[in-house]
Structure 1
Amino acid sequence: MNNPQWPHPGNLAEFSFSKLSHFELFRDLPFQSYNVGDPDPTICDLKVYQDYLVYLFIRNNVPPGSRLLEVGGGDSRVLRFLSRDYECWNADKCEGLGNGPTKFISPDYRIVYDYMGSFSPELSDGYFDFVFSISALEHTPEDPTIRENILKDMNRVLKPGGYSLHCFDAILRPGGTSWINGLVPYLYSQISADTLETAISTIQNDANCYVMSQQAYDSNWKPITKDDYSEFGRPFSINVGWPQRSSAR
């Protein structure tokens, strides 16, 4: 399924944050997030964008038979479409953070009930070809030690030449109050990423930036946040990808 337009390490800078143009790549695929058809950026949840981006990256760059580890995210929407071709794992403590699950089972992958950064012995050194997360690591506590341990643990479990790709929810707000979890700038300070750390002002002024619409927010997020869209802000995705050789400095 190799496609030069799909995300790969050589063009991943173009996928550093969510863009409307990316949705052109999400059509006519053997994959459906939340069991719906081709995603519509005017009505879909932000996680739908993130699911499709990760799915395309895996199909374009990770050979069948490789070992995949999803970090957090609960009952995976992506791994069930990959389990026939890959050895799939999920690491999630299942404590319900960020409205996540408190328990789940799946026939499609092995579950390790622990957080990345805990150095679980169930996740062997150098075992995985690809480690990813979707709308999970933005819930990381703003603690320098936790950030350091997460990066060390992800690089620990990756094979030499393996790859990490992580999609973070972030929020655009006016007046300099936009929000990004501190793990994002920490990662960029420690790795040689294929994505680009992009200033919020650049993202806000990019007409191609995809943000979750008010219609999608009101349907999917407002029942949880209880905040109006105008107060909460416009959710978008920051995507960070790097090869294992770019370990923490």
Structure 2
Amino acid sequence: MPASPTPANIAEFSYSKLSHFELFRGLPFQSYNVGDPNPEICDLKVYQDYLVYCFIKQNIASGSRILEVGGGDSRILKFFAKDYECWNADKCEGLGNGPIKFTSPHYRIVYDYVGSFNQELPDRHFDFVFSISALEHTPEDANIRVNVLKDINRILKPGRPSFHCFDAILRKNGRSWVNGLIPYLYANASPLTRFVPLAEIDANPDTYAMSKQAYEASWKPITKDSYEDFGRAFSANVYWTAP
């Protein structure tokens, strides 16, 4: 069984793997009210939820201030609201099939995107910033990438961690895809995760990518593409600490 994710071993969690699911059994947290997740049938977000849950429980002390970037009606923050000061930053415009505006009793919401330098998110306030299936929707714009990294580092306490799970796609014939924010972060944020070549991820038998059954149940009604045309969705995970 692999060790739980920590800053010391976070490179082992640079992308989604089948072996990670061994960590997700018998936990009090449930994503989408499902028991122990089955990689053959679960949505990619389930993997991402459990990975972030495990990281917070292992590494972030109770009472810490934690911020989720995007995610809307957060599954993670609902679970941690009693033990942490929880915040969410999401403009709630429905981007990427996300939610429209709402309120929550579990956490404070700032209706804006990270990268806007909104002062409702105070400087050096947070002990941990994370995102789940959100930042892959960042526009492919160099200035926006610069602002996203600067803003996250602005609101983190110095030396505190940031962990982000990006949806990414494996396709044949060199057509695999990741958002351009990922290589930008690896070039400028000094992550402790690894920027693994997509061909290596595709060839690894331990790689977890969402199955055809799971895709057709939850993503195809949105994308309208066949599984074969859309590709195999996996999670590219990026971890760094604020300067």
TM-score (norm 2): 0.99
Q: What displacement does 1:69 show?
A: 0.3
Q: What displacement does 1:161 show?
A: 1.9
**Could you tell me which of 21, 24, 31 is aligned with 1:23?**
21
Alpha-carbon distance in 2 for matches of 1:180, 1:227: 18
- What is the alpha-carbon root mean square deviation over aligned residues? 1.0
Aligned: 1:149 with 2:174: no
TM-score (norm 1): 0.96
Q: Return structure 1 stretches of 4+ with deviation > 2 angstroms.
A: none
Q: What displacement does 1:50 show?
A: 0.2
Supply the AA of the counterpart residue of 2:192. Answer: D
CA contact (8 A) 2:65 2:86 kept: yes
Q: What displacement does 1:106 show?
A: 1.1
**Could you tell me which of 79, 84, 87 is aligned with 2:85?**
87
**Could you tell me which of 157, 163, 178 is aligned with 2:176?**
178
Alpha-carbon distance in 2 for matches of 1:215, 1:163: 35
Q: What displacement does 1:37 show?
A: 0.3
Supply the AA of the counterpart residue of 1:178. Answer: S
| Corresponding residue number in structure 1 for 2:108 | 110
**Could you tell me which of 237, 240, 243 is aligned with 1:242?**
240
Structure 2, unaligned stretches of length 5 or more?
A: none
CA contact (8 A) 2:162 2:239 kept: yes
Structure 1, unaligned stretches of length 5 or more?
A: none
Deviations 1:179-233 (A, max 9, x none): 1000000000002111000001110110000000000000000000000000000
Deviations 1:52-81 (A, max 9, x none): 000100110000000000000110010111
CA contact (8 A) 2:149 2:189 kept: no
1:31-46 residue pairs with structure 2 within 5 A? 31-46=29-44
Aligned: 1:219 with 2:222: no
Alpha-carbon distance in 1 for matches of 2:34, 2:189: 36
| Corresponding residue number in structure 1 for 2:5 | 7
Alpha-carbon distance in 2 for matches of 1:104, 1:217: 27
Q: What displacement does 1:235 show?
A: 0.2
**Could you tell me which of 139, 160, 164 is aligned with 2:137?**
139
| Corresponding residue number in structure 1 for 2:48 | 50
Supply the AA of the counterpart residue of 2:105. Answer: P
- How many residues of Structure 1 are paired with residues of Structure 2 in the alignment? 243
1:54-73 residue pairs with structure 2 within 5 A? 54-73=52-71
Supply the AA of the counterpart residue of 2:210. Answer: M
Identity, % of aligned positions = 69
Q: What displacement does 1:86 show?
A: 0.3
